[in-house]
């Protein structure tokens, strides 16, 4: 990707897609766990652990079913305002507060530095997965497909499918109307950087 190509800081931040190793046995695919099997969690299991003390929604399926039926109601038009209201209701203090995942992680990490680092890694990987899902038309992430490695903070989507179609290629061409490729953009970035450095050198020479 262009940002990874131009800014080497991304590699230092461990910004890379995590892809598990699969072993196919007939019609079943098994993916390899980390060295510690208890450090790999599905987000469905994490949400189930968070909701276990909620009497109204004892499981993720119950929570999803209620609001899915509400949004899918043909008598109510699905608008952005409706989706925002549903999000606000789900993330209320009585159902699923926004800090629920942070609290779940905090119970498993005593060291403040490691806790902060893990939170940052989760945020980075979720952002990267969301960006790739949009750009490459990947299949939507699900609670069953998303997995979290508590040892590294890496988040992976084991049910990821590419949906590249002719429409995707047209979208990419329209996105760059002047046919600007990554190499062209990178060259302009370098030329601009060199011009700024030259101006600074001239300014220093004039001072001398």
Establish if 199 belongs to a structural domain.
no
d(CA 208, CA 206): 5
Establish if 90 belongs to a structural domain.
yes
| 19-62 pLDDT, tens digit each | 777 777 777 777 776 666 677 888 988 988 888 878 788 788 88
Do residues 15 and 124 make contact, with C-beta atoms less than 8 angstroms apart? yes
d(CA 86, CA 108): 30
DSSP label at residue 148: E
Looking at residue 17, what is its pLDDT? Answer: 74
Establish if 82 belongs to a structural domain.
yes
Overall domain count for the chain: 1
Taking the whole predicted model, whether its pTM rises above 0.75 is answered as no
d(CA 207, CA 201): 10
Establish if 193 belongs to a structural domain.
no
For the chain, helix (H) and strand (E) counts, in that order, are 9, 5
d(CA 59, CA 113): 32
Establish if 7 belongs to a structural domain.
yes
Establish if 187 belongs to a structural domain.
no
Looking at residue 200, what is its pLDDT? Answer: 63
For residue 134, the enclosing domain spans 2-175
């Amino acid at each position: 990707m262009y940002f990874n190509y131009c800014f080497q800081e991304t590699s230092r931040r461990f910004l890379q897609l995590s892809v598990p190793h699969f072993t196919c046995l007939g019609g079943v695919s098994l993916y390899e766990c980390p060295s510690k099997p208890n450090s790999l969690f599905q987000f469905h299991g994490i949400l189930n652990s968070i909701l276990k003390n909620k009497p109204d929604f004892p499981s993720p399926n119950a929570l999803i079913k209620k609001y899915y039926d509400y949004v899918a109601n043909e008598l109510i038009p699905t608008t952005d305002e409706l989706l925002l209201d549903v999000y606000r209701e789900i993330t209320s203090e009585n159902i699923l507060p926004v800090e629920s995942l942070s609290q779940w992680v905090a119970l498993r990490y005593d060291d403040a530095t490691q806790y902060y680092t893990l939170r940052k890694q989760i945020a980075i990987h979720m952002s990267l997965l969301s960006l790739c899902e949009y750009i490459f038309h990947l299949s939507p992430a699900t609670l069953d497909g998303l997995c979290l490695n508590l040892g590294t903070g890496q988040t992976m989507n084991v049910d990821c499918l590419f949906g590249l179609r002719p429409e995707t290629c047209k979208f990419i061409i329209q996105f760059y109307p002047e046919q600007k490729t990554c190499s062209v953009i990178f060259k302009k970035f370098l030329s601009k950087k060199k011009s700024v450095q030259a101006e600074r050198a001239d300014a220093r020479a004039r001072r001398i």
